Chain A
Amino acid sequence: MEKLMEILKELRPDVDFEKEKSLVTGGILDSFDIISLVGMLNDEYDITIRPANLVPENFNSAEAMLELIEKLQDEE
């Protein structure tokens, strides 16, 4: 979780990722942020996030992102 928090802070220092639970549906992260984030997560965790994974439920909170990362790591 710490590594993910670091990545998120680097992406958007202005957002409180620990509290925020509607990052996508609330319009806090836009599609440009999502694409940057996907690139960072792919590199950092050696996974391949696909367009199919880009549903709001997977990116609305840091926990949801971690779940997605773990799921994709299992699949690899």
Chain B
Amino acid sequence: MALTSLPFAIFAIITGIIYFVYPKKEQRWVILLIASCFFYLYNSFRYAAFIVVTILTIYFAAVKMDDISVETRKTVREKKAEWSKEEKKAFKDAAAGRKKKILALTLILNFGILFLLKYFNFMSGSIAALVGVSPESAPQIRLLLPLGISFYTFIATGYLIDVYRETVKPERNLFKFALFVSFFPQIIQGPISQYGKLHDQLIEPHDLEWINFKQGIMNITWGLFKKLVIADCSWKAIKAYYANGGINGSGDFAGYGGTMVLFITLLYALQLYTDFSGGIDISRGICRVLGIDLEVNFRQPYFSRSISEYWRRWHISLGAWMKNYVFYPIAMSEFSKRVTRAIASSSFGKTPVGKHISKVFMTAVASFIVFLFVGIWHGANSKYIAFGVWNGLIIMLSAMLGPVYAGSRKALHINENAAWWKLFQMLRTFVIVLVGYVFDIADNFTNAMQMMYLTLTDQNVGAFLSELPSLGMRKVEYLAVMCSAMLVLYISIRLEQTKIDTPAELLERRSGLIQWICLFGLIMLILLIGAYGPAYDPAEFVYMQF
């Protein structure tokens, strides 16, 4: 049941109606839980046991950790007069140790499941190849992935770490917690919601409000437009390119030239953004109708002026998760402190360059590790690791070379606020992003290198135009995708200028008539040129199998 399918629309509408007419308001969250269970079982019945294991283990671990904290505080208070400072500290440390053990075991179990299902085959094949056995004869697990396993594992483990850090109180009602982990609008492709931001909203009852309904519907329509008109049409061309052998690992690209490779890369950038952000718009729109504010996951990422900014604007919730639970713990660890001190106290650390390096070295290493994880999170393939390494290297180098860049900007008298400079930075960042995408598109690492080589050495517009018909798209379809992309670009610029999150809020400033015209205009566009219906095989959301 894809987010853009008719059955899903019917399911969402029925859920909404029952939610709002259910008379016992304080129990309305139960409707959401039942809907989420139904959605999960309908889509991933055979693998539902995995999400149940995650819900149960994390629920009980969180409650147990909180019990230990509460009990410890109580005992320390009671024994305040009797115990010495050392005794109190020893008691607290013992309790912290028990909490840490529970946390570690639960994390190992849950990430272990994710790792086994997602990466076992890749690892086992790689190890087999390393020891000289053919990868085909290595042991393999033949399983499809449980729906949304990367998302719900991250959502649930993030909650557990928050409870461990005592930044949130645990949910003691198992069913309320189950709703937080399995909430249907976010299970397919995120966002990776933070407990503190979402949970209470799910449990509180909401009434149907006109403004929420209107803006929610507008966001859903905008998401459908991006997904059905732009993403799915572009996907048709990309799929044809694959089918024609454009990326076959042999390095000859079925005769396609470098301009075509560049075109496919650009089309992929458009497709990936509209597919993923369109899906998020639909999820956020549904939540908005229900009166729930789901986290923003995209903020015009292609307008970023550096790669680190790009990762704060693309899949924001994944970046935030990585920052909170991987980056900070590594950068603030005792080990990092020791390394920083060692560099600072060495003779190199006393030089101006050494001073800077000692400050940023471990932070840069931590961000490199984060991007290695981001790469691996995207899939079990060497090309995704290369994708992570590429992004990590750029961020690491820009941190280490920060003063060099600042110095050269000064020497060249570049005004950092000049429009041309900002535009140059955007373009430069976009090119770096595209290089990352090439790793995504290619079959493997070698293939990606060949693609980049071809793009750089074989630009020929004439050849490209003669190759274009082989992608199976009609001229009118190219025109439709192009015009729609222009509309998305225009809206993105307006959102950027106004610092507003959604087109619906942007439209709120216009008259009612214009709002209706825009809504119906979008619906007409979707109906006329969208890729939908039973005859069309819809592209699954790119992030659905994550």
Contact = CB atoms under 8 A, between A and B. Distances in A.
Contact of B323 (A31, A36, A50): A31
A52 B399 CA distance: 24
B167 interface: yes
A51 B308 contact: no
A30 interface: yes
A5 interface: no
B165 A52 contact: yes
Interface string B232-273: 000000000000000000000000000000000000000000
A33 to B, nearest CB: 10
B421 to A, nearest CB: 16
Give the interface SS of chain A, mostly helix, strand, loop or mixed: helix
Contacts of B167: 52, 55
B467 to A, nearest CB: 43
A30 B304 CA distance: 14
Interface in A42-61: 49-52, 54-55
Interface in B298-343: 308, 312, 323-324, 327-329, 331-332, 337, 340
A39 B333 CA distance: 11
A32 B332 contact: no
Contact of A49 (B308, B327, B329, B332): B332
A36 B360 CA distance: 8
Given A38-B332, A51-B165, A51-B332, A32 B360 contact: yes
B332 A31 contact: no
Nearest to B312: A27
A50 B165 CA distance: 9
Given A31-B323, A32-B399, A39-B340, A51 B359 contact: no
A51 B328 CA distance: 6
Given A51-B328, A51-B329, A36 B312 contact: no
Contacts of B308: 30
Contacts of A50: 165, 332
B324 A32 contact: no
A55 B165 CA distance: 11
A17 B308 CA distance: 23
A35 interface: yes
B165 A36 contact: no
A30 B543 CA distance: 27
Contact of A51 (B312, B324, B337, B399): B324
Interface in B348-392: 359-360, 363, 366-367
B67 interface: no
A35 B166 contact: no
A52 B96 CA distance: 14
A31 B328 contact: yes
Contacts of A55: 167
Contact of B327 (A31, A36, A39, A52): A31
Contact of B331 (A27, A30, A35, A52): A35
B332 A35 contact: yes
B237 to A, nearest CB: 36
A31 B367 CA distance: 10
Contact of B363 (A27, A32, A49, A51): A32
Contacts of B331: 31, 35
A50 B337 CA distance: 13
B363 A35 contact: yes
A57 B189 CA distance: 28
A54 B324 contact: yes
A38 B329 CA distance: 12
Contacts of B329: 51
Contact of A36 (B324, B359, B366): B359
Contact of B328 (A30, A36, A39, A54): A54
Contacts of B328: 31, 35, 51, 54
Contacts of A52: 165-167
Interface in A3-45: 27, 30-32, 35-36, 38-39
Contacts of B312: 27, 30
B77 to A, nearest CB: 15
B74 to A, nearest CB: 18
Contacts of A49: 332
Contacts of A39: 337, 340, 359
A17 to B, nearest CB: 19
A35 B327 CA distance: 10
Nearest to B165: A52
A52 B166 CA distance: 8
B348 to A, nearest CB: 18
Contacts of A35: 328, 331-332, 363, 366
Contacts of B165: 50-52
Contacts of B340: 39
Given A31-B327, A35-B328, A39-B359, 19 more contacts: A30-B308, A31-B323, A31-B328, A31-B363, A31-B367, A32-B360, A32-B363, A35-B331, A36-B359, A36-B360, A38-B332, A49-B332, A50-B332, A51-B329, A51-B332, A52-B167, A54-B324, A54-B328, A55-B167
Interface of A: 27, 30-32, 35-36, 38-39, 49-52, 54-55
Pick the 10 closest A-B CB pairs, nearest first. Answer: A52-B165, A51-B328, A35-B331, A35-B363, A51-B329, A32-B363, A54-B328, A31-B323, A52-B167, A36-B359
9 contacts: A30-B308, A31-B327, A31-B363, A31-B367, A32-B360, A35-B328, A35-B331, A39-B359, A51-B328
Interface of B: 165-167, 308, 312, 323-324, 327-329, 331-332, 337, 340, 359-360, 363, 366-367, 399
